[in-house]
Amino acid sequence: MKRAGTVVGTAQGVAVVRSDDDGYPAIGTPLVDENLDDVGTVVDVFGPVDRPYLAVSPDVDNPALLVGNPLYTQS
């Protein structure tokens, strides 16, 4: 597992993840939580190049519960 970043909020139905560095996952990459449960898919990358934000289309009922949690890629 590679850490993708931390969920910092939600907006317009997506979870907003702050990437840890410039090695962020590509659009279309599925993300999981620390228990390897599917959380969502990266649908957009925006913000500063060195540490961008990821817009994640959630696979969970209440994405606000993800705020503060780290998310990971499986590869």
**CATH of 2-61 given 2.40.10.230, 3.40.50.1820, 1.25.40.390, 3.10.270.10:** 2.40.10.230
pLDDT of residue 21: 87
Helix (H) or strand (E) segment spanning residue 46: strand 38-46
The predicted model scores a pTM of: 0.92
pLDDT of residue 58: 95
Per-domain residue ranges for the chain? 2-61
How confident is the prediction along the chain (75 residues), in pLDDT tens digits per residue?
Answer: 999 999 999 999 999 999 998 889 999 999 999 999 999 999 999 999 999 999 999 999 999 999 999 999 986
* Beta bridge mates, 47: none
The answer for residues whose C-beta is within 8 angstroms of residue 74's C-beta and 6 or more apart is 1, 30, 32, 36
pLDDT of residue 41: 97
Q: Tokens in use for 3?
A: 């850490």
